[in-house]
Amino acid sequence: MIAFSEVTKVYENITALRKITFSIGKGEFCFITGPSGAGKSTLLKLIYLAEKPDEGRINIAGWDSDRLKMSSIPYLRRNIGIVFQDFKLLSNRNVYDNIAIALRIRGVPEREIKDRVHEALKLVNLRHKVDSYPDMLSGGEQQRVTIARAIVGDPTVLLADEPTGNLDVDNTAGIMRIFREINAKGTTILFATHNKELFRHTGLRVLTLDGGNLVSDVGG
């Protein structure tokens, strides 16, 4: 599903990723961990094509990153659900519209959107906040809106960048349960976190980055 080979990413003078090689199969649930600044977010950005690799090649669902036409990027992204570390919610739209936008972009009819948005909100326990604006929500609530937006489109790949960073224990457990359910239905998941508790006893695959190097690849 996702394959990196010898991928290097350099920002000005910082090497965020150095010769990274790994591949993730369809339906896998894989954690990416490592200290702050290790390159976790950068790795995910390369997958959703917000950044281009300086060296090496990335293959996503059969698409080669350096042979991809710019006009097909949107269609590739529609298969990827992203939980951004910084949320990226639209501050001038309420919760409903923030989630619905992911479907409107695809031209899904409004009636279908309504059902799917409510279903996604139910999953993240936020049905009572459907009319709120992001500024009126707590950090954890905003994070759950972001998760709802990422899963509402039934993506084949879900990229989650610290999706539980702002959540309490109960909500974290809830989100983890949702992710496991989605994964059980066949969605490939990449989950970046520095919280080792999340994967300690799961037996799932864990990629560890440190200073831009892939230092371990265990489990799975």
Partner 1 sequence: MYSVKLGLKSLWRERWINILSVLTIGVGFFVLAVVALLLLNLELASRRLPEKFTITVFLEDEISQRGILRIRKMIERATVVEKVDFISKEEAFEDLKKSLKDSAYILEGLDRNPLFPTFVIRLRKSAFDREKVEQLIKEIRGMRGVEDLVYGEEFLGVVSRFRVMIRLLSITLMGLFFVATVFVCYSTVKILFYRRKEEIEIFKLLGATGGFIRLPFLVEGSIIGLLGGLFSGGLLYGLFEISRRYVAGGVPIITGLNPVLTVVAILPVFGVVLGVIGSAIAVGRVKF
Ligand X SMILES: Nc1ncnc2c1ncn2[C@@H]1O[C@H](COP(=O)(O)OP(=O)(O)OP(=O)(O)O)[C@@H](O)[C@H]1O
Cα dihedral sign, 14-166-152-190: positive
What character string, x for contact with ligand X (CB under 6 A) and - otherwise, covers 171-210? -----------------------x----------------
**To 10 degrees, what angle do helices 169-184 and 139-151 make?**
10
When the beta carbons of 48 and 133 are compared against ligand X, the nearer one is: 48
Task: List C-alpha distances in Å: 171 to 7, 23, 168.
Answer: 35, 30, 5
82 binds, among partner 1, ligand X, Mg ion, none (CB under 5 to 8 A by kind): partner 1
Asked if residue 8 binds ligand X (CB under 6 A), the reply is no
38 binds, among ligand X, partner 1, Mg ion, none (CB under 5 to 8 A by kind): ligand X
Buried b (16+ CB within 10 A) or exposed e, 51-64: bebeebebbbeebe
Query: Using the rule CB under 5 A, which residue among 18, 28, 41, 187 binds Mg ion?
Result: 41
Structure token digits, residue 109:
């009819």
When the beta carbons of 104 and 114 are compared against partner 1, the nearer one is: 104
Asked if residue 52 binds partner 1 (CB under 8 A), the reply is no
Looking only at the bridges linking them, the beta strands covering 157-161 and 80-83 are parallel
For 102, residues 6+ apart whose C-beta sits below 8 A from its C-beta are 149, 150, 152, 153
Asked if residue 71 binds partner 1 (CB under 8 A), the reply is yes
Query: Using the rule CB under 8 A, which residue among 78, 154, 166, 211 binds partner 1?
Result: 78
Residue 205 neighbours by CB distance under 10 Å: 19
Residue 181 neighbours by CB distance under 10 Å: 12
Q: How far is the CB of 19 from partner 1 (least distance, A)?
A: 26
Asked if residue 172 binds Mg ion (CB under 5 A), the reply is no
Residue 110 neighbours by CB distance under 10 Å: 9
Asked if residue 115 binds partner 1 (CB under 8 A), the reply is no
- Provide the binding-site residues for ligand X, judged by CB under 6 A: 11-12, 14, 16, 34, 36-42, 85, 194
- Provide the binding-site residues for partner 1, judged by CB under 8 A: 48-50, 70-71, 73-75, 77-78, 80, 82, 84, 88, 90, 92, 101-102, 104-107, 149, 153
